Amino acid sequence: MPMKRFMRKIKGYKEWFNVIGLRHDEPRRVASAMKQYEVWTNITPMNDAKHTVKDVSEFWKKQNFDLNLTNANGKTPAGNCDLCFLKGMDTTLSILRERPEMADWWIKQEQKFGEHQGATFRKDRPGYIKLVDISKSQQELFNDDDQMTCFCHD
């Protein structure tokens, strides 16, 4: 794990705190982060302060620049990890319908590791080339949008 190698070898730490920007309205992700058994301790200050997606949205509205992220009911589906394989199918297809070019990097990565041989980021759904095709040909067909737990920000 890169973070572990960095902290141990480069910085010489044996244990440390890992600060994760999970909000109070992300209880599943917070619970998952707290179950981590590693040499570091995860802490979630936004959760502890009871910050929600509304608070984050209000914070960004007060800034003197705009990230130009599509906002859907207070959420930014593309967010910081545009087409992360941990996002649910509905979210991914919605992003691809709006901006199919976002799939380019993800497609290249799958091709690099042999998509034609079945190498995809997730085994429970099609690769990114197929997801682009699906996004162009189907409307809201999937309603499962069950995201996997990750430690990135929404």
Q: Which residues of 7-23 are buried (b: 16+ CB within 10 A; e: fewer)?
A: beeeeeeeeeebebbbb
- Each residue of 71-86: pLDDT tens digit? 776 677 777 788 988 8
Q: Between these two residues, 96 and 11, which has the higher pLDDT value?
A: 96
pLDDT averaged over every residue in the chain:
83
pLDDT recorded at residue 141: 52
pLDDT recorded at residue 2: 76
pLDDT recorded at residue 152: 53
> Chain centroid to CA 105: how far?
15
Does the predicted model carry a pTM greater than 0.75? no
- Each residue of 12-69: pLDDT tens digit? 888 899 999 999 999 999 999 998 778 889 999 999 999 998 898 889 889 998 877 7
Other CB atoms within 10 Å distance of the CB of residue 144: 9
- Each residue of 101-118: pLDDT tens digit? 999 999 998 888 775 566
8-state DSSP, 148? P
Look at residue 146 and tell me whether its pLDDT is greater than 90: no
pLDDT recorded at residue 22: 93
Q: Cβ(48)–Cβ(76) under 8 Å?
A: no
Query: Which residue type occupies 45?
Result: P
Q: Cβ(128)–Cβ(83) under 8 Å?
A: yes
Look at residue 96 and tell me whether its pLDDT is greater than 70: yes
Helix ranges (H only) for 6-127 are: 27-34, 45-48, 53-61, 89-98, 103-112
Look at residue 143 and tell me whether its pLDDT is greater than 50: no
